[in-house]
Structure 1
Amino acid sequence: MSDQSPDATIRVFIALAPPDDAKDELAEALRPAYEAYPSLRWNRIEDWHITLAFLGELPAAAVPPLREPLAALAAAHRPLELALRGGGHFDERVLWSGVDGALEGLHLLATDVRALVKECGIPFEGRPLRPHLTLARARRGDAAAITDSAAGLAGFSGRRWPTARLHLVGSNFGRGPGPIRYRDIESWPFEGEGR
């Protein structure tokens, strides 16, 4: 963040990331869709995440004050057992995989994250949490590719895994014609016994 100008902005969200082996399982299940529909805008596997709070475009200076409170929040929460399961789409435009497991704990974590964001003075009018992992977006005329790919994931059931870290992520969404790129600004381990 130090290479940013004082009036620079960054698109920010707070998320969980599945471990590599869980992502590999899902990528294997997606292989037929990758081959059948190369025209979809597929998210890179290394960028797959479960968003807890999307903060939008923020001044770069608003991000550092989030670090210490997010570290403390992660330290107070225990890891959650989650799994990737099935698939679906939003408006025939966005392909996703669902999330299964400790969903009550996931909703509590998201509620705590969103409250913390507000306490840090960042306006947050988030939608209700719909736990999912975004896989691809349709280009014009690709609605059938999205619905067919979602149907292909209907029976997918990935292994369970513990959440390891809380991630503060920046993206370049909307900045040019290329694919969306994400980068961890910072992440913190879950260490708590409660919640």
Structure 2
Amino acid sequence: MNEPTQPATVRVFIALAPPDDAKDELARALRPAYEAYPRLRWNRIEDWHITLAFLGELPATTAPLLREPLAELAAARRPLGLALRGGGHFDERVLWSGIKGELDALHALTTDVRAVIAQCRIPFEERPLRPHLTLARARRDDPSSVPKVAADLAGFSGRPWRTERLHLVASNIGRGPGPIHYRDIASWPLTGEAPAARP
């Protein structure tokens, strides 16, 4: 009998995730939109995350190279104080909620994460960080609902929370017609103190 084959590649990113109660708070604010716009492709609440670096499709043997250096980075970095705030959209097709709080520290952590990736000689997309949670995507034949939901979210201001873990995540995006799902390859607690800023 043949053994099930493992995928030769995996789609990977590195992220932070809000705690469940912060996600539940935003989900309650979104209830009217869930009912009013059922045709939006809503992301699962358990998959909400803040992407720090998107690595794209990698050989399955490459992602494990990041485990040790990311574990060391997380152990040396303190938790960050963040909150979810407001809403917006990219190109009227992607709905998101914004992030407030220790944004300078979030950008510094992102820089360090991307330095680890570069040191591992793994190519990745060098996009500027725009901290957000992706909530939904419009279908190509119905793009008008996203700006409306973003406007309704403009006044949302969630409670503060502390980041807990750094996540190395795989997704099944592009692997069939079903919904996008994410799974942790590994995650590490943010337990330490960041070193003093460079002059």
Query: Following the alignment from structure 1 to structure 2, what is the Cα–Cα distance between the partners of residues 49 and 100?
Result: 14
1:130-141 mapped onto 2 (5 Å cutoff):
130-141=130-141
Query: Following the alignment from structure 2 to structure 1, what is the Cα–Cα distance between the partners of residues 33 and 165?
Result: 30
Does structure 1 residue 32 correspond to structure 2 residue 60?
Answer: no
Contact 2:165 2:188 survives alignment (8 Å): yes
Query: Following the alignment from structure 2 to structure 1, what is the Cα–Cα distance between the partners of residues 186 and 144?
Result: 37
Instruction: Tell me the secondary structure at the aligned position of residue 176 of structure 1.
Output: coil
Instruction: Tell me the secondary structure at the aligned position of residue 142 of structure 1.
Output: coil
| Aligned residue in 2 for 1:150 | 150
Does structure 1 residue 74 correspond to structure 2 residue 71?
Answer: no
Q: Give how far 1:167 is off.
A: 0.2
Q: Give how far 1:4 is off.
A: 5.8
Does structure 1 residue 128 correspond to structure 2 residue 128?
Answer: yes
Q: CA RMSD in A?
A: 1.1
Contact 2:12 2:168 survives alignment (8 Å): yes
Gaps in structure 1 of 5+ consecutive residues = none
Contact 1:19 1:161 survives alignment (8 Å): yes
Q: Give how far 1:143 is off.
A: 1.8
1:31-180 mapped onto 2 (5 Å cutoff):
31-180=31-180
Q: Give how far 1:125 is off.
A: 3.5
Q: Give how far 1:194 is off.
A: 2.4
Contact 1:4 1:60 survives alignment (8 Å): no
Instruction: Tell me the secondary structure at the aligned position of residue 61 of structure 2.
Output: helix
What is the CA deviation profile of residues 60-79 of structure 1, one whole-angstrom value per residue up to 9, with x for unaligned ones? 00011100000000000000
Q: TM-score, normalised by structure 2?
A: 0.94
Query: Following the alignment from structure 1 to structure 2, what is the Cα–Cα distance between the partners of residues 68 and 140?
Result: 41
Relative distance call for 1:108 and 1:92 in structure 2 (3 A) is same
Instruction: Tell me the secondary structure at the aligned position of residue 123 of structure 2.
Output: coil
Q: Give how far 1:124 is off.
A: 2.5
Q: TM-score, normalised by structure 1?
A: 0.96
Instruction: Tell me the secondary structure at the aligned position of residue 143 of structure 1.
Output: coil
Instruction: Tell me the secondary structure at the aligned position of residue 65 of structure 2.
Output: helix
Instruction: Tell me the secondary structure at the aligned position of residue 188 of structure 1.
Output: strand
Q: Give how far 1:141 is off.
A: 2.7
Query: Following the alignment from structure 1 to structure 2, what is the Cα–Cα distance between the partners of residues 124 and 28?
Result: 35
Q: Which deviates more, 150-159 or 116-125?
A: 116-125
Query: Following the alignment from structure 2 to structure 1, what is the Cα–Cα distance between the partners of residues 108 and 194?
Result: 11
Contact 2:53 2:125 survives alignment (8 Å): no
Q: Give how far 1:126 is off.
A: 1.5
What is the CA deviation profile of residues 76-106 of structure 1, one whole-angstrom value per residue up to 9, with x for unaligned ones? 0000000000000000110000000000000
Does structure 1 residue 22 correspond to structure 2 residue 22?
Answer: yes
